[in-house]
Copies of this chain bind each other. A is one copy, B any other.
Amino acid sequence: MSGRIWTAALVVIGDEILSGRTQDRNVAQIATWLNVQGIRLREVRIVGDDEGAICEAVNTLRARNDYLFTTGGIGPTHDDITVDAIAAALGVPVVIHPEARAILEAYYASRGGLSAARLRMARVPEGAELIPNSYSGAPGIRVGNLFIMAGVPHITAGMLDRLTGQLEGGAPLLSHTVGCWVPESEIADLLGAVEKAHEGCQIGSYPFFREGKVGANFVVRATEQARMDACVDALVAALAAAGYAVEEGGI
């Protein structure tokens, strides 16, 4: 339990998520990527294509986290209002980024040219840098510790790849999973006792029903390998004493 914990928040922007039309994939993708950078995803908000809602979420979350990510709403159509909303939240004007314009001019040179709608994708909050887009023209945007990413998951994945190793973080959160064919309610006290005896470790219990039987996966999380290993060993021993064998890596 040493060292500062770095945190991030995420604002997922889009009516299509709130209507149920589109299944979000960016929360899990960004959470997993952040863990590797030594940064914890602490909170997520999903809001519609509404400037007031975006501003509120952005300003609240950036004030209390080291990093803030957004996904969605940076395309060329009328419902893409993320850049305008974030500029309003930051109190800065929207400007055309010259490098983004050059990228889009090159990308659309063989695709009908850079129309006014396409030029929208070169608009950034003043003071921003670009995050390269490996799949299509329109770049992501970085304004200090605020990262404005695409909504389409594979485009966001490419942008995350370009940011890998660029963000200061702490010790990555380690995790170790063991699975067990036991109703979690039978060993609930045991789980709580093992967690309490191992400072710096959390044990999550995730029940399931499969092949006609109930079971659970137990995930031990810690930032220090030795503490995590000791907690896992104690948990496996306690389950064995209660008559339950575990499956390494989960079921």
A residues adjacent to B (C-beta < 8 A): 15-25, 27-32, 34-35, 40-49, 53, 75-79, 108, 111-112, 115-118, 120-121, 135-136, 152, 173, 175, 183-186, 188-189, 191-192, 195, 202-209, 219, 221
Contact = CB atoms under 8 A, between A and B. Distances in A.
- The copy count of this chain in the complex is 2
6 contacts: A16-B204, A19-B35, A20-B30, A44-B45, A46-B46, A79-B203
Given A19-B219, A19-B221, A75-B185, 14 more contacts: A17-B28, A18-B43, A24-B24, A24-B28, A44-B46, A45-B45, A46-B46, A75-B207, A78-B191, A78-B195, A78-B203, A112-B186, A117-B188, A152-B208
| A contact face: mostly helix, strand, loop, or mixed | mixed
Q: Which one of A41, A185, A186 has the highest number of Cβ atoms from chain B below 10 Å of its Cβ?
A: A185
Given A78-B188, A186-B115, A27 B41 contact: no
